[in-house]
């Protein structure tokens, strides 16, 4: 099939590439000419395992193209995806200006029946607004061209995006038109493997499904962070509690890892946006507000532990950070816990020496050159002569360090394990003081 995708961010680029991989002819449109040139040259602006070879191969085979030229691109697609950003407005609600601008472009340029698919995470009711924006342009043109708007939210995880896209656990299609549903059934047939993964519903329910899924996962994390904080006060180990509750299949082991707080481009933004939507319609979303508040204080947890350990004396100290990205297998620093931590350390007069396998460039881009930040190429270089080691992102490379070496390199051997990667007893036996999240003895 012929597909057009507006937006070459995570969602747009991965979706476009996977659809091309399945044999469709995909044109991806972006307003950023530099990005389009880079993509054409096989230079992928994000770090996402497996994506680059797929982009290069499909582009080389002529099934995947990139352009800034929206007009012919709209003409190309039987299905036109909107996968542009919805950044938070000042009050936390999603800003729809880019989505609606694409809707206008579509209305200005379609010349035959087109299925407009919204893949961006958008507030409930956006499908109606997109429909309105397309209709208004058709009316202005004085033409009557049939089209449908479908809400088809994306559930891919950064770091596993290609896998999630190629093997989705569900495909949510919010549509009221049988014709549009049939088009999407055909498009997604190759992703439906041995059983039908498509769940068809109305547009509003599909839009809410996306927010509900992310809010549920964020709630699990904040819940577990709260249990961790209680565990610290009562002298229990949250890691044992985690295993104890995860064994109940109704609770499950996923997304109950306490830590330094959730980050990324989705959870913080989506929990906030859903809470704003609820408040806007007169519903007081107390649980969502609490999920956000718990996460906000959790992001300061590592700094609080460190500051207490050093009796508030952090001025002039060098603190080593292992991990900067908001989670492993990505270079994404959006809402990463490391940012709050670094900013608190700088505020207290400490210097940061950090190692991250992928996010150093992104960190440099955000913070620029500064005397109190050194980004190093190897994990042990970060701790050489530092006063403490803090684990912020759970990259695999940090799981089994040489503790004797860590001890010999740190001036004051102490680890603040923001992701509970280590067994406290093993670290302490190596002669290193240990603090984790919710591990009793940290008080
Ligand atoms: C999230 C969802 O998991 C995807 O299903 C969704 O499609 C995506 O948002 C989106 O809306 O686009 P992502 O933001 O890539 O995906 O990252 P996650 O793997 O969900 O991690 C989010 C944050 O939660 C990370 O900072 C991670 O460290 C933290 N986390 C995760 C915990 O602190 N504890 C856990 O047990 C799990």
**CATH number of the CATH domain containing 407:** 3.40.50.720
Q: What is the pLDDT along the chain (443 residues), one digit of tens a residue?
A: 999 999 999 999 999 999 999 999 999 999 999 999 999 999 999 888 999 999 999 999 999 999 999 999 999 999 999 999 988 888 877 899 999 999 999 999 999 999 999 999 899 999 999 999 999 999 999 999 999 999 999 999 888 999 999 999 999 999 999 999 999 999 999 998 778 899 999 999 999 999 999 999 999 999 999 999 999 999 999 999 999 999 999 999 999 999 999 999 899 999 999 999 999 999 999 999 999 999 999 999 999 999 999 999 999 999 999 999 999 999 999 999 999 999 999 999 999 999 999 999 999 999 999 999 999 999 999 999 999 999 999 999 999 999 999 999 999 899 999 999 999 999 999 999 999 999 975 44
266 is a domain residue: yes
Do 54 and 167 belong to one domain? yes
340 is a domain residue: yes
State which of 49, 84, 266 you would mutate to test the pocket of ligand 1, scoring each by most atoms of that ligand within 8 A of its C-beta.
Answer: 266
> What is the pLDDT at residue 443?
47
Closest C-alpha residue for ligand 1 atom 31: 255
> What is the pLDDT at residue 194?
77
Closest C-alpha residue for ligand 1 atom 9: 266
**Ligand 1: centre distance to CA 172 (Å):** 19
State which of 262, 263, 335 you would mutate to test the pocket of ligand 1, scoring each by most atoms of that ligand within 8 A of its C-beta.
Answer: 262
**Ligand 1: centre distance to CA 157 (Å):** 7
Do 13 and 145 belong to one domain? yes
Do 184 and 246 belong to one domain? no
Separation in Å, CA 405 to CA 7, 172, 277, 418: 46, 50, 51, 20
Closest C-alpha residue for ligand 1 atom 17: 157
Tell me how far apart the alpha carbons of residues 225 and 255 are, in angstroms, rounded to a whole number. 11
Q: Burial, 294: exposed, middle or buried (Cβ in 10 Å; 0-12, 13-18, 19+)?
A: buried
- Are the C-beta atoms of residues 210 and 218 closer than 8 Å to each other? no
Closest atom of ligand 1 relative to the 261 alpha carbon? 33
Strands 64-67 and 79-82: unpaired
Do 318 and 290 belong to one domain? no
Closest C-alpha residue for ligand 1 atom 20: 157
Ligand 1 contact via 327 beta carbon (within 6 Å): yes
CA angle 176, 115, 213 (to 5 degrees): 60
Do 60 and 178 belong to one domain? yes
Tell me how far apart the alpha carbons of residues 438 and 229 are, in angstroms, rounded to a whole number. 5
> What is the pLDDT at residue 66?
98
Ligand 1 contact via 336 beta carbon (within 6 Å): no
441 is a domain residue: no
Which residues are CB-contacts of 226 (< 8 A; sequence separation ≥ 6)? 294
Task: Name the β-bridge partners of 79.
Answer: 3, 115
Domain end: 274, 297, 320, which one? Answer: 297
Do 36 and 144 belong to one domain? yes
**Ligand 1: centre distance to CA 274 (Å):** 16
443 is a domain residue: no
Strands 318-322 and 64-67: unpaired
Ligand 1 contact via 266 beta carbon (within 6 Å): yes
Domain end: 297, 320, 337, which one? Answer: 297
State the maximum Cα–Cα separation within the chain, in Å, rounded to a whole number: 78
* Residue 365, φ and ψ in degrees, nearest 5: -60, -40
Do 324 and 243 belong to one domain? no
DSSP for 133-200, written as a single string: HHHHHHHHHT----EEEEE----PPTTSHHHHHHS-S-EEEE-S-HHHHHHHHHHHGGG-TTS--EEE
**Ligand 1: centre distance to CA 268 (Å):** 10
User: Of 18, 28, 165, 266, which one is the catalytic site residue?
Assistant: 266
206 is a domain residue: no
> What is the pLDDT at residue 42?
94
Do 142 and 28 belong to one domain? yes
> What is the pLDDT at residue 302?
97
Domain end: 243, 271, 297, which one? Answer: 297
Do 312 and 285 belong to one domain? no
Do 77 and 162 belong to one domain? yes
Ligand 1 contact via 262 beta carbon (within 6 Å): yes
Count of domains observed in the chain: 3
Tell me how far apart the alpha carbons of residues 116 and 79 are, in angstroms, rounded to a whole number. 6
Closest C-alpha residue for ligand 1 atom 8: 157
The answer to pTM > 0.90 is: yes
Range of the domain at 255: 211-224+233-297
> What is the pLDDT at residue 441?
59
Q: Burial, 399: exposed, middle or buried (Cβ in 10 Å; 0-12, 13-18, 19+)?
A: exposed
Closest C-alpha residue for ligand 1 atom 6: 155
Closest C-alpha residue for ligand 1 atom 25: 262
b (16+ CB within 10 A) / e for 369-391: eeeebebbeebbebbbebbbbbb
**Ligand 1: centre distance to CA 48 (Å):** 15
Ligand 1 contact via 392 beta carbon (within 6 Å): no
Residue 266 annotated as catalytic: yes
User: Is the sign of the CA dihedral 237, 240, 244, 249 positive or negative?
Assistant: positive
Coil/strand/helix, residue 4 = strand
440 is a domain residue: no
61 is a domain residue: yes
Do 219 and 343 belong to one domain? no
Ligand 1 contact via 157 beta carbon (within 6 Å): yes
139 is a domain residue: yes
> What is the pLDDT at residue 159?
87
Do 189 and 272 belong to one domain? no
ipTM score for this prediction = 0.93
């Amino acid at each position: 099939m012929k597909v057009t995708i507006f937006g070459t961010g995570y969602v747009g680029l991965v979706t476009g590439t996977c659809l091309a991989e399945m044999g469709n002819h995909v044109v991806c449109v972006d307003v950023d000419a530099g990005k389009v040139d880079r993509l054409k040259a096989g230079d992928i602006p994000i770090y996402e395992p497996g994506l680059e070879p797929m982009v290069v191969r499909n582009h080389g085979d002529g099934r995947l193209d990139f352009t800034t030229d929206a007009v012919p691109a709209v003409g190309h697609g039987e299905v036109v995806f909107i996968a542009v950003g919805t950044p938070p407005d000042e009050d936390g609600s999603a800003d729809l200006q880019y989505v609606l601008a694409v809707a206008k472009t579509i209305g200005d340029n379609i010349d035959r029946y087109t299925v407009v698919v919204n893949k961006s995470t958008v507030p409930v009711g956006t499908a109606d607004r997109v429909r309105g924006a397309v209709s208004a342009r058709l009316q202005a043109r004085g033409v009557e061209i049939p089209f449908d708007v479908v809400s088809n939210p994306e559930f891919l995880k950064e770091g596993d995006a290609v896998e999630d896209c190629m093997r989705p656990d569900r495909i949510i299609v919010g549509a009221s038109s049988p014709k549009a549903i049939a088009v999407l059934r055909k498009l997604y047939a190759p992703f439906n493997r041995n059983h039908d993964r498509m769940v068809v519903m109305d547009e509003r329910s599909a839009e809410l499904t996306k927010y509900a899924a992310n809010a549920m996962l964020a709630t699990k994390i904040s819940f577990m962070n709260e249990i961790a904080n209680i565990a610290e006060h009562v002298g229990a180990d949250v890691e044992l509690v985690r295993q104890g509750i995860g064994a109940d299949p109704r609770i499950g082991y996923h997304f109950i890892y306490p830590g330094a707080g959730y980050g990324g481009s989705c959870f913080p933004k989506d929990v906030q946006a859903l809470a704003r939507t609820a408040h806007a319609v007169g519903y007081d979303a107390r649980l969502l507000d609490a999920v956000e508040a718990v996460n906000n204080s959790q992001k300061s947890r590592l700094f609080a532990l460190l500051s207490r350990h050093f009796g508030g004396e952090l001025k002039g100290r060098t603190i080593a950070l292992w991990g900067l990205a908001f989670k492993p297998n990505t270079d994404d620093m959006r809402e990463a816990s490391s940012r709050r931590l670094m900013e608190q350390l700088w505020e207290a007069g400490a210097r940061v020496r950090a190692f991250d396998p992928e996010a150093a460039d992104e960190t440099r881009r955000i913070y620029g050159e500064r005397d109190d930040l050194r980004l190093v190429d190897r994990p042990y270089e970060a701790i050489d002569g530092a006063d403490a080691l803090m684990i912020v992102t759970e990259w695999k490379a940090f799981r089994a360090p040489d503790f004797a070496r860590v001890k010999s390199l740190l001036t004051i051997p102490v680890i603040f394990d923001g992701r509970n990667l280590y067994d406290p007893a093993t670290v302490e036996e190596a002669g290193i003081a240990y603090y984790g999240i919710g591990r009793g003895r940290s008080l």
